Structure 1
């Protein structure tokens, strides 16, 4: 999109490319080659005035150069601040695009990364790459500016780090010779956010816990025409509250993980989201496996969910049958409906874990024992639970 004036011979034209202003310079100055001076400015009325003033300055020097050679600076350094840069349309240092390099880089990462890492991290970065206004590596500054304007600061910095890593890999692979994103991430400042001392730990009270369980069992907030009743998830919800296990560990459980006498549960796997959907993986987040003793509140739940099941049957299957519960779908369509109906402050189902840990500590269980039950380190229990969730008191000596 050009400004109002005609593109007469020797004139400098202000135009817009992907909503950024640039100056189109006369071809005759560079032996027929089209060159642009990119300004790094958004197309706003105020910036237009800046661009028009710069265009007139260059035009004056072009005219004066006829009488006084050397007045016009053919390197253009005279006309650009630090953020201006010259773009030549006919010559590029890079023979491949960022998108091409990224695709090859992702295939390389896939060989050494877990499916969940590929889905939760690299898939997101790949979506950012597809959204970029340009894949021209010569326009790395333009790419950076777009990223900072369209992606949250912390994610933007991580993305620029990945772009730089991608280019470093491409250099090692003899695809390119220069990394245009080198050092860019260090210039990005992340705003400091205010966090409360407890971080994301916000457990339910016993009263709230019992209200939630009852609401699920009674279908209190379930639509009468709902295909899947809330009570279908009641045992699952109660199990989370009474074991403190991670939701990913609960939905991975099979009949064989519960002892025949219902005295203990063995957690040794978890369900993760991969590129191909939900899949079970061996091992837990912080350990290979752990044994959890069953108390009298938990035993009736296990007896119900184990009834009639074979060793490899899932204890808490999805409503569709022999598949895993989609925890994200459950959280949005069922869990949130119940909490909203009860008027309870919304917290993710993961807070059932924090609730169990907090209540265990408040009822006198040693932090080291709680750590063994839930698969955390004692340091985490002391730092985030024992240190912050229990009221301090001064004993009478």
Structure 2
């Protein structure tokens, strides 16, 4: 199989390369680089097809008829016959790859594998509601949870919506996957119980007394005291705090070495309690590095959430006699207790970075914050 070339092609020349098992074209025009997936696996015959497409593009560039939108050159822009289910989803993945972090694409890769196993080279245009239903029934038998099954179907539905909008499928074609997502019944899950005040005290004291994990004490207090997402607390840098540590800016998160915006892509500023302010002042170096992390692991690096949960958190909760709940429950606990204290839900949502409806639906789990039946 020909190797992908990294050589620069002359201007106006379209090169053919293999990318993730599929053929794509690359070229430069008017100072801009272009890449176009053919949607076909790398083979001798398919390279001939790709060369025909490349020649069309080269001729259009030479004659001044180049289509800057690329619609003219995309596989089957007006007629989707021949574009496979797998090929369509691969094009969708290539589109999403420009907007998502590599780890976020894992679920797309998993979905692609199921499509490859079931549909093989079947045309995307041939998929109707009956075919989609048969795939859904097959998928539910693959030892997937209903939640994961729905997630896979949601991605396929999104791929079809994108394919229709981007002219990879025939304009006006209905999406056969819409109803399939709704047919997967996901049983409601009971929210985990928030930690009680006594449990919170026991956990913090457990970390203070721990021979191995006491250096996490401030981090745990910060989680309980702010309701931050764990990745937000892990990614907190000294430049995000005011000089007197009375308030913090939260607009970034850090997960296993990957720094990005918060989950909702919205920043917020929080005024801290006196207790948290004094704790951070004690931690603050005399001349802190602006990009330095506020909370670190024992070895001085960023806290690994999996390692913290599996070792420190599990160990301390067990020794403290507290029923296990994930560290993320510190956020749920903060919101529930704040609402029980009578805080305005709008203010709580501003502190935690939620919208009010999401806050009530997903986090208001303590008894006092629930609607009560009237006494008759």
With the shorter chain as reference, the TM-score category is 0.5 to 0.7
- The structure 1 residue matched to 2:291, chosen from 303, 312, 315, is 312
Contact map agreement 2:153 2:180 (CA 8 A) in 1 = no
SS in 1 for 2:140: helix
Contact map agreement 2:227 2:332 (CA 8 A) in 1 = yes
Distance change in 2, residues 1:314/1:145 (3 Å): same
Residues 137-178 of structure 1: per-residue CA shift (max 9 Å, x gap):
269747544322113334324423433543565577676779
Distance change in 2, residues 1:163/1:214 (3 Å): same
Stretches of structure 2 that go unaligned for 5 or more consecutive residues are 1-79
Q: In the alignment, which residue of structure 2 is the partner of 1:136?
A: 121
Stretches of structure 1 that go unaligned for 5 or more consecutive residues are 1-92, 221-228
Residues 336-360 of structure 1: per-residue CA shift (max 9 Å, x gap):
2322333422222122122223333
Contact map agreement 1:168 1:179 (CA 8 A) in 2 = no
TM-aligned CA deviation for residue 210 of structure 1: 1.2
Q: In the alignment, which residue of structure 1 is the partner of 2:233?
A: 250
Structure showing greater radius of gyration is 1
Q: CA RMSD in A?
A: 3.8
Q: In the alignment, which residue of structure 2 is the partner of 1:166?
A: 159
Residues 227-376 of structure 1 correspond to what in structure 2 (within 5 A)? 229-272=212-255, 278-282=257-261, 285=264, 287-295=266-274, 297-308=275-286, 309-322=288-301, 324-376=302-354
Q: In the alignment, which residue of structure 2 is the partner of 1:190?
A: 184
Q: Normalised by the size of structure 1, how large is the TM-score?
A: 0.58
Q: In the alignment, which residue of structure 1 is the partner of 2:110?
A: 127
Contact map agreement 1:367 1:386 (CA 8 A) in 2 = no
Q: Normalised by the size of structure 2, how large is the TM-score?
A: 0.61
Instruction: Supply the distance in 1 between the matched residues of 2:168 and 2:350 (Cα, whole angstroms).
Output: 50
Residues 183-205 of structure 1: per-residue CA shift (max 9 Å, x gap):
24524622352444xxx252101
Q: In the alignment, which residue of structure 2 is the partner of 1:79?
A: none
TM-aligned CA deviation for residue 179 of structure 1: 12
Distance change in 2, residues 1:306/1:107 (3 Å): same
Higher mean displacement: 202-211 or 141-150: 141-150
Instruction: Supply the distance in 2 between the matched residues of 1:379 and 1:144 (Cα, whole angstroms).
Output: 31
SS in 2 for 1:271: strand
Contact map agreement 2:192 2:329 (CA 8 A) in 1 = yes
Q: In the alignment, which residue of structure 2 is the partner of 1:108?
A: 95
Equivalent residue pairs, number: 281
Instruction: Supply the distance in 2 between the matched residues of 1:208 and 1:304 (Cα, whole angstroms).
Output: 25
